[in-house]
Amino acid sequence: MSYNLDTEVLYQGTTLQGIVRNPETPAIYPSSAYILDDMEDYLFADKGGRYYYNRSANPNRDELGAAVSFLEKGGKTLICSSGMAAISTVLLSLLKNGDHVVMNQAVYGETVELAKWILPGYGIEVSFVDFTDLEAVRNAVKENTKMFYTEVIANPLTLVTDLDEVTTIAHTQGILTVVDSTFTTPFVYRPLEHGADIVLHSMTKYFGGHSDLTGGCVTASEELIDRINPEYLLLGCCLDPVSSWMFLRSVKTMSMRVRAQNRNAVKIAEALSEDPHVREVYHPSLPDHPQHELASRVFDTEYGYGAMLSFRLEDDHEKVSAFMKSLKLIRYLGTLGGIRTTFTHPRTAFRNNFSGEELDGMGLAEGLVRISVGAEDSRDLIEDLKQALSAMDK
């Protein structure tokens, strides 16, 4: 049967002629919905029997989720539209009015903002604690504490949390431990193997790896993910199919990127440590880092110690600015984890949102510069840093 032109054109080209078999890479499924056979089919789909609506489930997100679950050794993974979407979905789904969270004081700035500005509105109380001080973590626990929230390598001083110890405290009191493992990546460290209940990432960083994707993921046991899933659906933070497909593509080269970037970071940390302009270097690979022994024990050092490092120059705005402007290869960028080396000035990133005192408390000194190490030849990177450091003398 043929229809009028306006009708027919809507149905042309929607089914492939011939057989497409075994493509080397998966197809992209951009469809926002799937045609249903009848009411029984709808009910089957609605119970999770098959794909029927993109926000509920999508093949590209599921494929990516399976790869992340494999890497993190978890039961199930939710793929979200950003790292913050992953974080807010976990916090808003698992915490209720009257609950208390003990949060590492050194987590990502916007996670702090969420905890300080959004959670109290829902009747959720947060205590900020130094997670390298286990006694402080223990003392912060209250009767209504439901969650510990931390990062493995915390911003910007690269402090490493001993999750085996933290989760031992949590387990004895029925507290869930949520870990943002963005800086570590599953190649270096897998929090679920160290007692954590939930691991999440800003996939915008090392999973994407090329500074051209925004996404997040949450991995846990099937049971926990099923508890988070209703809010995931209702908050509407699913990642789109094309980005999911691109992330899966990036995951295939992630181990190579991470290994190369992390190796470069060790070399740069060593080179900076020797420069007289640099007061201190923060990277877990350095023997004088406060958690070097811990990191060497719990990280898979074949992959390294992460590619994020910070260093402290003199707390002189003009001199720090001269250094930043003199860098030729390494660029100022408001993200991290990309294949190219970039830097940021952490204090400036939060100057508009926190007082000077608060910034000092967060360790964001004027002289602090953070580098996200990429995969260039480390000799070029060290050369660029050295010439920019010398420019501070002029």
Q: Which residues contribute to the site for ligand PLP (CB under 6 A)?
A: 82-84, 108, 151, 180, 182, 202, 204, 214, 216
- Closest C-alpha among 309, 381, 319, 376 to residue 346: 309
- Closest C-alpha among 162, 140, 142 to residue 151: 162
Measure the CA–CA gap between 205 and 215, rounded to whole angstroms. 9
| CB-based contact 107:180 (threshold 8 Å) | yes
- Closest C-alpha among 81, 78, 53 to residue 66: 78
Our CB check for ligand PLP shows the closer of 111 and 145 to be 111
Measure the CA–CA gap between 47 and 53, rounded to whole angstroms. 12
Residue with CB nearest ligand PLP?
A: 83
DSSP secondary-structure letter at 33? B
Parallel, antiparallel, or unpaired for β 342-344 and 331-332? parallel
- The structure tokens listed for 230 are 């209703």
Our CB check for ligand PLP shows the closer of 72 and 151 to be 151
Measure the CA–CA gap between 78 and 115, rounded to whole angstroms. 21
Greatest Cα pair distance, the chain, in angstroms, is: 82
| Contacts for 237 with CB less than 8 Å, ≥ 6 apart | 80, 81, 82, 85, 86, 88, 89
Query: How far is the CA of 55 from the CAs of 30, 106, 217, 386, in angstroms?
Result: 11, 33, 15, 49
Burial zone of 177 (CB within 10 Å; 0-12 exposed, 13-18 middle, 19+ buried): buried
To the nearest whole angstrom, how small is the minimum distance from the Cβ of residue 107 to ligand PLP?
7
